[in-house]
């Protein structure tokens, strides 16, 4: 982990396109601004962890879909492959 000290209104650059700015200092917290391209996703840590857990839960989900055979009516013509024919 890289640790840097910054004063009020000073910035840190991450690569060429992400800039962190110290906007406000209070007793027990710092307000920072992040200027980044719109394709860069930025989350508070607790939100990021919640998203990751939701993704893991979705991947574990046992989703059963009804068989397609039950949804498609059989035809009398075996050469008929559906709308538009063979």
What pLDDT digit, counting tens, does each position of 14-57 carry? 999 999 999 999 999 999 999 999 999 999 999 999 999 999 99
> What pLDDT score does 84 carry?
60
Question: Quick check: helix, strand or coil at residue 31?
Answer: strand
Evaluate if pTM is beyond 0.75: no
Picking from 28, 42, 45, 36, the residue whose alpha carbon sits closest to that of residue 11 is 36
Give the number of other Cβ atoms within 10 Å of residue 18's Cβ: 14
> What pLDDT score does 21 carry?
97
């Amino acid at each position: 982990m890289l640790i840097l000290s910054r004063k009020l209104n000073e910035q840190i650059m991450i690569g060429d396109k992400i800039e962190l700015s110290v906007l406000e200092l209070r007793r027990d917290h710092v307000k920072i601004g992040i200027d980044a391209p719109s394709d860069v996703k930025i989350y508070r840590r607790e939100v990021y962890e919640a998203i990751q857990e939701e993704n893991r839960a979705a991947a574990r989900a046992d989703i059963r879909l009804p068989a397609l055979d039950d949804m498609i009516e059989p035809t009398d013509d075996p050469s008929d492959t559906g709308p538009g024919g063979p």
